[in-house]
Amino acid sequence: MAETVIRTEHLTKTYGALKAVNDVSIEIERGAIVGLVGQNGAGKTTLIRMLTGLVKPTSGSFELLPQSDRNDTTVAAIVERPSLYLSLSATNNLVAQCKLLGISIDYDHLRRTLELVGLNPTLTTKVKNYSLGMQQRLAIAMTLVGKPQVLILDEPTNGLDPQGIHDMRDIFVRLNRDCGVTLLISSHILSELSKVATEFYIMDRGRVIRRVSAEQLDAVSAQKLRLTVSDVTKAAEVLAQFGKTSVISSTQIFVYTDAPSTQILLSLAQEGVAVTNITQMGDALEQLYLDALSGNVSSTGGDSHD
Amino acid sequence: MINTLQLQFFRIKKSVTFWILLGLCLGLPLLSALFQLLLIGLLNNSPIDWGGIVEFGDVTVAELQSFASMSNDAAVLAVICTSVLLCKEFSGGTIRNIFLSDKSRAQVYGALSVVAVFIGAVYFTAYYLFTLMFNGLILGFGSLSAAQVANACLLSFALGLVAMLLSQSFVVMFLFSVRKTAATMVLSFVLMLVAPAVIQGVVEGCLLVASVNGTTVADAALGWIPLYNVNMLDLSNPDGALIGKILLYELPLAALFFFLGWVALRKADIK
């Protein structure tokens, strides 16, 4: 059984009457890439702030790596926005981070780290003149300089262009695959998160409302098709043989299936059901997320956390 | 804590603000000595009677004496530099990197407090030495003997360091309480500049009333008034009891403000 590297038990943080994080108990195993999903104000950032020691919990407890494994470099994080010394250059920011972590300054390693995140190591410009995307890349480089075992990233792709998002995704996957780094990533971009993470916690109003494993995600990764048909009742009967269906209006119906569209259309035509439109819908994580928020637990799988 | 200190010293080394203000610690004493030379020359050659000839050496002693007060120029520069440098850790969010690197709050607090005191000590020492040098060279030490000059220097330097400790304790307290550069600077200035001025105004007002009523207040009694008593110091003829009273207030007050800073950080949520 894999070792648990992040464990929270009934973690709660209140601000006056507001419960920003409410009784959250999660466990993250070593080597996992875990996505933390939720709307604005769901409590993701507050949970990460507590895990990183920036905010004191009102109640509950957490453990971030066993104490015997903890040292200055084992955990790194980006919380909300890049934390950089704006009046220093990128290289000097990394030098500062090395000093903070108590590691010797190897300029070759620093140069490679900057190149890894797509920054020019010879650039001596002060970081305050960088774009948000460049600052975000540097912030990620800052977290990597100490070669951490656990990386906690709050919206790490904020401000990045599509190429930057793609590059970061590659970096995270390589860190996990090649170095065994455990990642906890919060993001609003579900499509990106679903390409990286193997496990998800969905948060809403301070609570973790569902945990979704990779297997559960695979189970609902079947195509979701929306069909506009002449007779939804008859269509529902026909489509039941292909997978789960859901009637959404007098003319539209969803079907979750891996079957080829041509086969579906043929079956419907054979039963005299006319199809005027067929559309492939969003990804599985988005479906699970929306279902979790609407309280629909049974239709698509996943563990309810309440 | 050592790592955090190394980081801060690296930042200090790279900080333009630190070096500009340190440059002022050299420039201002030189300008001050030259200005006083000019002013005293003008006064002594003026047809108006200013109550006798002003001795250059007296000005040097008065200048050294002013270092014993926490509202001296070096302390002002130290407050500006400390507020700018350390508050940036909070405003830029880099304080989070420090906490994340497995440092306890006590370690972070200790390191940043040491940095505040270090900046104060560097500015004070630089300002003091340059004042001593320029005033000594340009204005001299008047009728004081070499032994008296040495005593006056040691005493004003030691009391100045204690006063600097007190003014930097204000900065540390506000730094961890409000975590904003402007607010930290302004509130520190209020305590280190306005509070002694108000106390002095009140005391001198009361002394004036007392003299009108024909009563006198003993210096020994006035020596117990905190932040005012430092004005009664006479470097050419130091009073051990008065020095004791000054330290009796300044050291515990500094400790209190450092403690309040720690209380503010201990359970604070860091943004």
Encoded amino acid at A165, one letter: I
Residue A192 shares a structural domain with residue A237:
no
- 3-class SS of residue A64: strand
DSSP B199: H
Residue A116 lies in a domain: no
- Check CB contact of A73 with chain B, cutoff 8 Å: yes
**What angle, 0 to 180 degrees and rounded to 10, lies between the N-to-C axes of helices A90-101 and A107-116?**
120
Radius of gyration of chain B (CA): 21
DSSP A251: S
pLDDT value of residue A242? 85
Question: Which residues of chain B lie closer than 8 angstroms to A99, CB-CB?
Answer: 3, 6-7, 10
* Chain B nearest-CA residue for A150: B100
DSSP B47: S
Among B11, B101, B107, B265, most A C-beta atoms within 10 A, so best to mutate, is B101
Residue A131 lies in a domain: no
pLDDT tier at A294 (50, 70, 90 boundaries)? low
- 3-class SS of residue A229: strand
pLDDT value of residue A208? 84
B93 and A81 in contact by Cβ < 8 A?
Answer: yes
How far CA A108 is from CA of A73, A145, B11, in Å, comes to: 19, 11, 22
Query: Who wins on pLDDT, A300 or A303?
Result: A303
| Enclosing domain of residue A234 | 222-282
How far CA B232 is from CA of A43, B66, B227, in Å, comes to: 58, 11, 10
* Res. A200: pLDDT tops 80: yes
Residue A188 lies in a domain: yes
Burial of A258 (0-12, 13-18, 19+ CB in 10 A): exposed
Residue A294 lies in a domain: no
Find the CB nearest B11 among A56, A79, A96.
Answer: A96
Tell me which of A201, A218, A235 is where a domain ends. A218
The domain tally of chain A equals 2
Residue A195 shares a structural domain with residue A246:
no
Task: Chain A: give the shortest CA distance to residue B175, in Å.
Answer: 17
Question: Which residues of chain A lie closer than 8 angstroms to B98, CB-CB?
Answer: 100
Encoded amino acid at A191, one letter: S
DSSP string, A182-222: EEEEE-S-HHHHHHH-SEEEEEETTEEEEEEEHHHHHHT-S
* Chain B nearest-CA residue for A98: B7
* Res. A296: pLDDT tops 60: no
Going by C-alpha positions, the residue among B54, B85, B64, B60 that lies closest to residue B128 is: B64
* Res. A123: pLDDT tops 70: yes
Q: What is the pLDDT of residues A209-241, one digit of tens each?
A: 888 876 666 666 556 788 899 888 899 999 888
Tell me which of A218, A244, A265 is where a domain ends. A218
ipTM beyond 0.90? no
DSSP A61: E
How far CA A142 is from CA of A73, A118, A239, A251, B95, in Å, comes to: 11, 13, 52, 54, 14
Query: Is there a contact between B130 and B27 (Cβ–Cβ < 8 Å)?
Result: no
Burial of A2 (0-12, 13-18, 19+ CB in 10 A): exposed
Residue A14 shares a structural domain with residue A67:
yes
Residue A115 lies in a domain: no
Q: What is the pLDDT of residues A51-69, one digit of tens each?
A: 888 888 899 888 887 777 7
* Res. A115: pLDDT tops 60: yes
Q: What is the pLDDT of residues A84-114, one digit of tens each?
A: 999 899 999 999 999 988 888 888 888 988 8
A85 and B10 in contact by Cβ < 8 A?
Answer: no
Cα torsion through B132, B138, B142, B146, rounded to 10: 50
pLDDT value of residue A217? 67
Residue A59 lies in a domain: yes
Q: Could you give the CA distance from residue B197 to residue B63 in angstroms, rounded to a whole number?
A: 18
pLDDT tier at A295 (50, 70, 90 boundaries)? low
Residue A278 shares a structural domain with residue A156:
no
Tell me which of A178, A194, A218 is where a domain ends. A218
pLDDT value of residue A166? 81
Going by C-alpha positions, the residue among B225, B74, B237, B90 that lies closest to residue B164 is: B74
- Check CB contact of A66 with chain B, cutoff 8 Å: no
Residue A158 shares a structural domain with residue A213:
yes
Residue A157 shares a structural domain with residue A265:
no
Token pair for A227: 């069909």
Residue A54 shares a structural domain with residue A161:
yes
Q: Could you give the CA distance from residue A262 to residue A276 in angstroms, rounded to a whole number?
A: 14
CATH of the domain at A227: 3.30.70.100
Residue A152 shares a structural domain with residue A277:
no
Residue A158 shares a structural domain with residue A276:
no
A56 and B269 in contact by Cβ < 8 A?
Answer: yes
pLDDT value of residue A207? 86
Residue A153 shares a structural domain with residue A250:
no
Q: Which residues of chain B have pLDDT under 50?
A: none
* Res. A299: pLDDT tops 60: no
Residue A256 shares a structural domain with residue A239:
yes
Helix ranges, chain A (H): 44-51, 90-101, 107-116, 132-144, 162-179, 190-196, 214-219, 232-239, 261-270, 284-293
Task: Quote the pTM value.
Answer: 0.77
Going by C-alpha positions, the residue among B62, B60, B27 that lies closest to residue B233 is: B62
- 3-class SS of residue A304: strand
* Chain B nearest-CA residue for A126: B14
pLDDT tier at A287 (50, 70, 90 boundaries)? low
Q: What is the pLDDT of residues A22-52, one digit of tens each?
A: 888 888 888 888 988 887 888 888 999 888 8
Radius of gyration of chain A (CA): 23
pLDDT value of residue B55? 63
Residue A21 lies in a domain: yes
Q: Could you give the CA distance from residue B190 to residue B76 in angstroms, rounded to a whole number?
A: 11
Q: What is the pLDDT of residues A134-182, one digit of tens each?
A: 888 888 888 888 888 888 988 888 777 788 788 788 888 888 888 788 9
Mean pLDDT of A119-132: 84
Q: Could you give the CA distance from residue A200 to residue A191 in angstroms, rounded to a whole number?
A: 13
Residue A40 lies in a domain: yes
Q: Could you give the CA distance from residue B162 to residue B255 in angstroms, rounded to a whole number?
A: 11
Going by C-alpha positions, the residue among A33, A25, A77, A38 that lies closest to residue A203 is: A38
Q: Could you give the CA distance from residue A27 to residue A5 in angstroms, rounded to a whole number?
A: 8
Residue A273 shares a structural domain with residue A176:
no
CATH of the domain at A49: 3.40.50.300
Q: What is the pLDDT of residues A236-258, one digit of tens each?
A: 999 888 888 888 888 888 887 77
